[in-house]
């Protein structure tokens, strides 16, 4: 260990402080899911479990959750496909505009969501597409491509190109090479990227506002319900459920990525 | 795969193999096929839409009918330059974005370093899960949680009251705090990835050469981690630059995002909104170009 | 790169650029046209659903509070399932209405005229709405719901913007808007104001009564001097405002937590706070107030016109109109609703049948260039109000 003891103690303290900083607001959310009254007042007047029952029985939540899952899965699938294609092109070929691809891919997520939203909205309306689940999936995929792309490129850099050539020498065609040689090595990177893409899509609200029709994804539902006086506790309950359920896929992806290492965190 | 036995002629190739062989002989077609979908979408649809938006900035709005009139002029840009308030709002937004970026870099570095170099593998895995999980908590709910914490009779004032202090309430300090909180995971992950690639041998060599802790940090660790910090800063900067929801909930003054949204989502004045939206777009494009020079794109 | 590859690469890039430009060209093409003209001739079959944009509290289906529900009965009777979107300002409502995805809207005066001018709403055939006959006379044929003699909607109800304060912080009950415009207010940082350009009219109204030499006769018809004076007043007010609100639950939360203690409000917010046991009082100050008179309008290309007409007839029926007027805290539009309110004095409290009271309430209406009097076309129009509001909010 190169780091001195003092440094290590400082880092441990800093880490605990940062973790506390990250989790205090989440604890507030959890606490308010049990709030007896509907208001934001502090301290809490009392605790109750009734909002959990109301949340489960609320049809708006269920529809919104379903829409969010559909949009997330669709956007992730699209992003994985497009991101992988671009990553393979960039890592295995040299061509005019290669450096620009990285720049292009990061634009949708680096530009403010409101700009991406407005632009896509204008395009969809001009080309006559009705705003709905499809436009949301396309919108989300646009800024999700980059997370898959980055993970795939980083992994492709570590896969020797010679493996592809060896496979071809052995008589495999392009599709077989991809299926039996390239893809298995890419798999965990795509998984990490796909998970992060899903998370980004699941929680996105600004681009969604501009690309969705009459339906609601979960963030849209939350936004509209935070404006209604008596729905705040249900919103908190929904948030708690989402946090708890999300620990599972995050943990799973972390394990499947080989435990530890930068891959596990996924590259943004 | 077809097995070839001696003396037999191999069966005729299926369509898949013939296509594959054809593509092997024409690498640029293969490249084209790979790039067609992603480049097609990004260049044609996304860049095309941005171009349409930019063109709309030169139009104007017929106020009574709330219809966009295709009269080309520089009026919108003139308004932005002449009216002080837009400059003020732009500076306020950029200033907050910069403050948030620096804060996040400072907060993220220790925990990223700890995760990369000191934590045991189990602790590392646990910390990664711990940092990624809040990304799944809804952004809106997190901001409202901060509203509860920062409000007049909220959690922060309740804890500070016994020692006679008071929290900042809503306003620019609240927004600085909330934005730093929201985008912190986006800064931790790249720095962690970057520090993971720091070979221990470099640190030992530096120590061997007589470098004390801080000198090693400044001359060895920081230069290697810098691209990663820039990579993380792309997100903290751009996400703050365009946000309009958090300012409405815990802020008191308007940011670029609020003005753009108020004009497009509320007033239907797309031309003015598009004109003002070019400000963060230009800022981010410049920022991205600088970041690329700093090597951030490899550290994402 | 070899010559052939370079050529191919260049063609590919060229192709992409051409495709992108064609997107731009398409986008530069004409805007979508206005809607079809003409009111519905006769009622047909109900379509099974109707989608509305409404002010918060206008379309209650029991999910906020089971005691307030005038939607479920309508849905059961007509089979028209109601989906509603709450919007916080008239500007938002106009923008939403223009997407063409909604059938109808509860429009205030500063939305309805813009929608008529834009061709987004259709005239209404009042013969198909039996309950219209019982609407108060002073709500019929008004400039904000009738254009050139053609009716564009049915009146929903009207109310005034009130001054609210927390009685435990503001000890002396105010009776003038002066308290929210006072630069030296002891409640600096805790005053609230409505976050929309139409609030300029509130400043103009205050100047109308306190600075008569400015010559303001109508707070929505402001020429350059009067407009500048109003803006200056609002910029000064900005130094004491803590939060501007348009989302009524945020206003409610702010008063509840003590972040706001004084400012403009709607009766419904005061009602919700009192139910929460927060100590507040409201009053209509001596200078009068701005207010609203809302009209249900129908989109010119409504997908479900018959259900929309059924809704319009339902919401101004005596029982439903009474329920919404009581919940929101406004005066109903249907005279017969006064018999159905739970509080028998509701109509008196809200001056539903008192035309003289409404002379001092200036309904929200779209500011136009045409001042409407002998000054001519020198007044500030809506877009200038919106720009000025950005100036005020940004500083």
Q: Report CB contact under 8 Å: C114, B88.
A: no
* Total residues belonging to chain B: 300
DSSP one-letter string for B123-176:
HHHHHHHHHHGGGGS-HHHHHHHHHHHHSTTSHHHHHHGGGT-----SSHHHHH
B157 and B208 housed in the same domain: yes
Report CB contact under 8 Å: C56, A125: no
Nearest to C225 by CA among C243, C204, C255: C204
Chain A residues with CB under 8 Å of B16 CB are 173, 175
Distance from CA of C375 to the nearest CA of B (A): 20
Contacts of residue B260 in chain A, CB cutoff 8 Å?
112, 114-115, 118
C-alpha distances in Å from residue C100, one per residue of B261, C33, C115: 19, 11, 12
Verify that B172 and B43 share a domain, yes or no. no
Q: Are residues C259 and C376 in the same domain?
A: yes
Question: Does C111 share its domain with C169?
Answer: no
Span C244-261, average pLDDT: 88
Beta-bridge partner residues of C241: C191
Q: Give CA–CA dist A220/A209, Å, rounded.
A: 7
Q: Is residue C309 part of a domain?
A: yes
Residues A24 and A64 in one domain: no
> 59-98 in B: which are within 8 Å (CB) of A?
none
Q: Do C58 and C153 belong to one domain? A: yes
Q: Which residues of C touch B44 (CB under 8 A)?
A: 16, 19-20, 23
Q: Report the DSSP beta bridge partners of residue C158.
A: C293, C331
Q: Is C247 on the interface with A (CB under 8 A)?
A: yes
Task: Tell me the C-alpha to C-alpha distance, in Å, between residue C66 and each of A38, A62, C272.
Answer: 15, 20, 14
Strand partners, C192: C243, C263
Cβ pairs bridging A and B (under 8 Å): 301
Same domain, C151 and C170: no
A42:C257 CB<8 A: yes
**CB A49 within 8 Å of CB A236:** no
Note the pLDDT of residue A96. 76
A264 pLDDT above the threshold of 50: no
Strand, coil or helix: what is B101?
A: helix
Q: Is the pLDDT of residue C60 over 50?
A: yes
Q: Say how many CA atoms lie within 13 Å of B94 toward its Cβ.
A: 13
Q: At C202, which CATH number?
A: 3.40.190.10
Asked whether residue B22 falls in the same domain as residue B144, the answer is no
The tokens of B282 are what?
A: 């230009």
| In a domain? residue B9 | no
In a domain, C38, yes or no: no
With contacts defined as CB-CB under 8 Å, which chain C residues touch A42? 257
ipTM above 0.95, yes or no: no
* CATH number of the domain within which B248 lies: 1.10.3720.10
Judge if B181 and B230 occupy the same domain.
yes
Other Cβ atoms within 10 Å of B223 Cβ, number: 9
Region A230-239: mean pLDDT is: 81
Q: Do C240 and C178 fall into the same domain?
A: yes
Is residue A179 a part of any domain in this protein?
Answer: yes
The Cα of A204 is separated from the nearest Cα of chain B by a number of Å equal to 8
Number of domains in chain A: 2
Residues C258 and C374 occupy one common structural domain? yes
The two three-digit tokens of residue C133, written as one number: 């006959």
Residue B61 included in any domain: no
Cα separation, B171 vs B158, whole angstroms: 19
Looking at chain B, list the stretches that DSSP marks H as alpha helix, in order from N- to C-terminal side.
Answer: 15-25, 27-39, 48-56, 75-82, 84-113, 121-132, 139-150, 155-160, 172-196, 200-208, 213-216, 222-242, 245-250, 256-261, 270-293
pLDDT at B273: 85
* E-state strands within chain C: 49-54, 81-86, 104-107, 121-122, 146-147, 150-151, 154-160, 162-166, 191-194, 241-245, 262-265, 280-283, 289-299, 331-332, 361-363
Query: Does pLDDT of C15 surpass 70?
Result: no
Instruction: Pick from A35, A38, A39 the residue to mutate for testing the C interface (most C CBs within 10 Å).
Output: A39
Closest in A97, A214, A228 to C13, CB measured: A97
The runs of H, that is alpha helices, within C36-158 are 72-78, 90-98, 109-117
Strand partners, C280: C166
Whether residue C125 sits in one domain with residue C73: yes
Q: Confirm whether B155 is domain-assigned.
A: yes
Q: Are B90 and B21 in a shared domain?
A: no
**Whole-angstrom Cα distance, residue C341 to residue C321?**
9
Range of the structural domain that residue C151 is part of: 49-158+292-353
CATH number at residue A87: 1.10.3720.10
Candidate from A214-223, C27-36, C214-223 with smallest mean pLDDT:
C27-36
The Cα-based distances of B27 to C6, C7, C89, C207 in angstroms read 13, 14, 57, 76
Shared domain for A19 and A128, answered yes or no, is no
Q: How far apart are CA C118 and CA A224, in angstroms?
A: 27
C131 three-state secondary structure: helix
Q: Which two tokens stand for residue B139?
A: 């952004």
Per-residue pLDDT, A263: 46
Nearest in space to C312 (alpha carbons), one of C114, C161, C159, C121: C121
Whether A77 and A210 map to the same domain: the answer is yes
Whether residues B34 and B148 fall in one domain = no
- Chain centroid offset of residue C80 CA: 25
Cα gap A133→A115, rounded to integer Å: 20
Residue C282 resides in a domain: no
Contact A228 C56 (CB under 8 A): yes
* Distance of alpha carbon B219 from alpha carbon B226, whole angstroms: 11
Residue B70 lies in a domain: no
> Coil, strand or helix: which one is C304?
coil
Residue C324 has pLDDT above 90, yes or no: yes
Of residues B49, B147, B254, nearest to C394 (C-beta) = B254
How far apart CA C240 and CA B28 sit, in angstroms, is: 66
Contact list in B for residue C111 (CB cut-off 8 A) is none
Residues C115 and C73 occupy one common structural domain: yes
pLDDT mean over C67-93: 89
Residues C135 and C246 in one domain: no
B269 shares contact with chain C (CB less than 8 Å): yes
Specify whether B168 is located in the same domain as B28.
no
Domain contains B66: no
Total number of domains constituting chain C = 2
> What's residue C33's pLDDT?
44
Name the residue with higher pLDDT: A214 or B177: B177
State both tokens at B132: 């990624």
Question: A245 Cβ partners below 8 Å, 6+ apart?
Answer: none
In this structure, are C243 and C315 located in the same domain?
no
- In this prediction, residue A268 has a pLDDT band, given cuts at 50, 70 and 90, of low
Domain match, A73 and A24 both: no
Phi, psi of C165 (to 5 degrees): -150, 155
- Residues C142 and C165: their CA atoms lie apart, in Å, by 33
Q: What is the pLDDT of residue B172?
A: 86
Residue A235's contacts (CB-CB under 8 Å, 6 or more residues apart) are A222, A225, A226, B141, B144
Residue of C nearest to A119 (CA): C27
Same domain (yes/no): A23, A112: no
Nearest-CB residue to B130 (from A19, A146, A266): A19
Do C184 and C61 belong to one domain?
A: no
Q: Are residues B160 and B275 in the same domain?
A: yes
Nearest residue, CB atoms, B259 vs list C113, C390, C395: C390
Instruction: Kindly list the partner chains of chain A, i.e. chains with 3 or more CB atom pairs below 8 Å.
Output: B, C
Contact indicator for C193, C233 with CB cutoff of 8 Å: no
Closest CA of chain B from C126, distance in Å: 25
Task: Give CA–CA dist B47/A18, Å, rounded.
Answer: 39
| Tens-digit pLDDT profile for residues A39-51 | 777 777 788 888 8
Provide the greatest CA pair distance for chain B.
96
**Domain tally for chain B?**
2
* SS3 label, residue C102: coil
Domain-located, residue A55: no
Which residues 76-105 of B have a C-beta within 8 angstroms of C?
79, 83-86, 88-89
Half-sphere exposure of B145 (CA within 13 A, CB side): 30
C36 in any annotated domain? no
Query: What digits encode the pLDDT tens for the residues B37-88?
Result: 888 888 888 888 888 888 888 888 776 666 777 778 888 888 888 888 888 8
What is the band of A229 on the pLDDT scale with cuts at 50, 70, 90? Answer: low
B145 min Cα distance to partner chain A (Å) = 6
Question: Is residue C27 a part of any domain in this protein?
Answer: no
Lowest pLDDT segment from A90-94, A224-228, B152-156, C309-313: A224-228
Do residues C366 and C382 make contact, with C-beta atoms less than 8 angstroms apart? yes
Can you tell me the distance from the alpha carbon of B203 to that of B213, in angstroms, rounded to the nearest whole number? Answer: 10
CA distance A156 to A20: 37
Q: Which pLDDT band, with edges at 50, 70 and 90, does C221 fall under?
A: very high
d(CA C179, CA C156): 31
Q: The domain containing residue B21 runs over which residues?
A: 15-56
The helix (run of H) or strand (run of E) holding residue A144 is: helix A133-158
Residue A37 lies in a domain: no
* C-alpha span between C363 and C345 (Å, rounded): 23
With contact defined as 3+ CB pairs under 8 Å, the chains touching B are A, C
User: A149 exposed, middle or buried (CB, 10 Å; 0-12, 13-18, 19+)?
Assistant: buried
C27 at interface of B, judged by CB pairs closer than 8 A: yes
Interface probe with C: pick from B172, B262, B263, B273, most Cβ of C within 10 Å: B262
Shared domain for B189 and B231, answered yes or no, is yes
Is there a single domain that holds both residue A22 and residue A154? no
Q: Which domain holds residue A1?
A: 1-28
Q: Is C204 a domain residue? A: yes
Contacts of C383 in chain B (CB under 8 A): 61, 63, 267, 269
C-alpha B143/C-alpha B125 separation (Å) is 27
Q: Is B244 found in the same domain as B188?
A: yes
Measure CA of the first residue to CA of the last residue in chain C; give whole Å. Answer: 56
pLDDT for residue B298 is more than 80: no
Q: Is the pLDDT of residue C135 over 90?
A: yes
Confidence of residue A262 (pLDDT cuts 50, 70, 90): very low
pLDDT at A129 over 90: no
Model confidence at C1: pLDDT above 50: no
d(CA C142, CA A199): 52
List the single range of B21-35, B226-240, C287-301, C307-321 with lowest mean pLDDT: B21-35
Chains that touch C (3 or more CB pairs under 8 A): A, B
Q: How many Å lie between the alpha carbon of A62 and the closest alpha carbon of chain B?
A: 16
Give bridge partners of residue C245 from the DSSP assignment: C194
Number of neighbours of residue B111 by Cβ within 10 angstroms: 28
B250 shares a domain with B142: yes
Is A45 within the bounds of a domain? no
A230 interface with B at CB cutoff 8 Å? no
Q: Are residues A12 and A84 in the same domain?
A: no
Non-local (6+) Cβ contacts of A107 within 8 A are B42, B46, B47, B288
Same domain membership, residue A80 and residue A203? yes
Name the least confident of B45-49, B162-166, C142-146.
B162-166
Indicate whether C214 and C148 sit together in one domain. Answer: no
Q: Which of residues 140-199 of A touch B (CB under 8 A)?
A: 142, 145-146, 150, 168, 171-176, 199
| pLDDT score for C27 | 52
In a domain, C297, yes or no: yes
Q: Rounded to whole angstroms, how far apart are CA atoms C86 and C99?
A: 15
Contact residues on chain A for C26, CB-CB shorter than 8 A: 126-127
Q: Does residue C23 form part of some domain?
A: no
Same domain, B227 and B118: yes
In a domain, B294, yes or no: yes
């Amino acid at each position: 260990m190169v780091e001195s003891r003092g440094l290590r103690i400082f880092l441990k303290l800093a880490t605990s402080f940062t973790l506390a900083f990250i989790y205090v607001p989440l604890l507030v959310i959890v606490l308010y899911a049990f709030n007896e009254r509907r208001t934001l007042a502090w301290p809490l007047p009392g605790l109750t479990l009734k909002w959990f029952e109301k949340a489960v029985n609320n049809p708006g939540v269920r529809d919104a959750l379903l829409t969010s899952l559909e949009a997330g899965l669709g956007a992730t699938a699209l992003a994985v496909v497009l991101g992988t294609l671009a990553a393979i092109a960039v890592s295995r070929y040299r061509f005019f505009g290669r450096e620009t691809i990285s720049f292009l891919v990061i634009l949708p997520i680096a530009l403010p969501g409101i700009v991406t939203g407005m632009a896509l909205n204008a395009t969809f309306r001009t080309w006559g597409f009705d705003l709905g689940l499809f436009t949301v999936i396309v919108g989300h995929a646009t800024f999700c491509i980059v997370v898959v792309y980055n993970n795939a490129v980083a992994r492709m850099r570590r896969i020797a190109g010679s493996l592809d050539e060896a496979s071809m020498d052995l008589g495999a065609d392009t599709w077989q090479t991809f299926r039996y040689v390239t893809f298995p090595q890419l798999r965990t990177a795509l998984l990490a990227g796909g998970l992060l893409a899903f998370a980004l899509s699941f929680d996105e609200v600004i681009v969604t506002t501009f690309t969705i029709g009459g339906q609601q994804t979960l963030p849209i539902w939350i936004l509209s319900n935070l404006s209604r006086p008596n729905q705040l506790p249900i919103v908190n309950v929904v948030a708690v459920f989402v946090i708890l359920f999300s620990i599972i896929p995050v943990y799973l992806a972390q394990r499947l990525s080989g435990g530890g290492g930068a891959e596990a965190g996924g590259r943004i | 795969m077809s097995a070839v036995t001696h003396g037999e002629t191999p069966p005729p190739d299926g369509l898949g193999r013939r296509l594959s062989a054809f593509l092997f002989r024409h690498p640029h077609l293969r490249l084209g096929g790979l790039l067609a979908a992603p480049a097609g979408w990004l260049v044609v649809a996304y860049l095309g839409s941005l171009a349409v938006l930019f063109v709309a900035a030169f139009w104007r709005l017929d106020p009574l009918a709330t219809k966009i009139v295709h009269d080309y002029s520089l009026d919108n840009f003139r308004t932005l330059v002449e009216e002080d308030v837009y400059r003020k709002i732009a500076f306020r937004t950029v200033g907050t974005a910069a403050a948030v970026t620096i804060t996040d870099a400072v907060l993220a570095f220790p925990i990223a370093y700890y995760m990369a170099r000191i934590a045991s593998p189990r602790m590392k895995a646990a910390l990664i899960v711990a940092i990624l999980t809040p990304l799944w908590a809804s952004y809106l709910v997190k901001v409202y949680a901060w509203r509860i914490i920062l409000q007049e009779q909220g959690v922060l004032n309740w804890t500070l009251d016994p020692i006679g202090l008071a929290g900042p309430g809503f306003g620019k300090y609240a927004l600085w705090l909330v934005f730093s909180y929201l985008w912190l995971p986006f800064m931790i992950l790249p720095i962690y990835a970057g520090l993971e690639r720091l070979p221990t041998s470099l640190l030992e060599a530096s120590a061997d050469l007589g470098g004390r802790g801080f000198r090693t940090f400044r001359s060895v660790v920081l230069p290697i981690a810098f691209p990663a910090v820039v990579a993380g800063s792309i997100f903290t900067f751009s996400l703050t630059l365009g946000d309009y929801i958090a300012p409405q909930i815990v802020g008191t003054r308007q940011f670029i995002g609020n003005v753009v949204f108020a004009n497009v989502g509320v007033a239907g004045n797309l031309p003015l909104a598009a004109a003002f939206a070019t400000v963060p777009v230009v800022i981010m494009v410049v920022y991205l170009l600088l970041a690329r020079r700093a090597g951030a794109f490899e550290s994402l | 790169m070899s010559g052939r590859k370079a050529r191919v690469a260049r063609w590919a890039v060229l192709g992409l650029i051409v495709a992108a430009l064609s997107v731009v060209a398409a986008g530069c093409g004409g805007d979508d046209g206005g809607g079809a003209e003409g009111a519905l001739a006769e009622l047909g079959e109900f379509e099974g659903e109707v989608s509305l944009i409404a002010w918060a509290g206008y379309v209650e289906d029991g999910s906020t509070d089971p005691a307030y529900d005038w939607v479920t009965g309508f849905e059961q009777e007509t089979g028209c399932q109601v989906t509603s979107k709450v919007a916080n300002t008239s500007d938002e409502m106009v923008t939403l209405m223009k997407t063409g995805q909604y059938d109808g809207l509860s429009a205030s005066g500063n939305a309805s005229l813009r929608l008529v001018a834009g061709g987004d709403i259709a005239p209404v055939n009042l013969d198909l709405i039996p309950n219209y006959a019982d609407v108060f006379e002073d709500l019929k044929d008004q400039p904000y719901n009738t254009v050139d003699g053609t009716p564009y909607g049915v009146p929903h109800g009207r109310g005034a913007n009130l001054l609210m304060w927390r009685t435990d912080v503001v000890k002396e009950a105010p009776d003038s808007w002066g308290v929210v415009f006072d630069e030296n207010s002891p409640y600096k940082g805790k005053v609230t104001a409505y976050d929309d350009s139409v609030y300029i009219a509130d400043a103009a109204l205050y100047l109308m009564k306190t600075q008569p030499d400015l010559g303001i006769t109508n707070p929505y018809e402001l020429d350059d001097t009067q407009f500048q004076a109003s803006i200056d007043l609002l910029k000064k007010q900005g130094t004491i405002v803590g939060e501007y609100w348009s989302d009524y639950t945020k206003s409610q939360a702010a008063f509840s937590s003590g972040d706001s203690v004084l400012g403009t409000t709607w009766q419904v917010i005061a009602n919700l706070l009192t139910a929460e046991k927060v100590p507040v009082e409201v009053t209509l100050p001596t200078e009068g107030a701005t207010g609203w008179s809302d009209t249900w309008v129908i989109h010119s290309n409504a997908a479900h016109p018959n259900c929309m007409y059924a809704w319009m007839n339902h919401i101004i029926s005596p029982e439903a109109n009474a329920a919404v007027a009581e919940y929101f805290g406004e005066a109903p539009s249907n005279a017969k609703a006064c018999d159905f309110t739970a509080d028998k004095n509701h109509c008196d409290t809200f001056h539903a049948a008192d035309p003289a009271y409404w002379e001092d309430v200036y309904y929200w209406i779209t500011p136009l260039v045409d001042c409407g009097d002998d000054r001519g076309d020198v007044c500030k129009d809506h877009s200038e109000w919106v720009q000025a509001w950005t100036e005020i909010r940004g500083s």
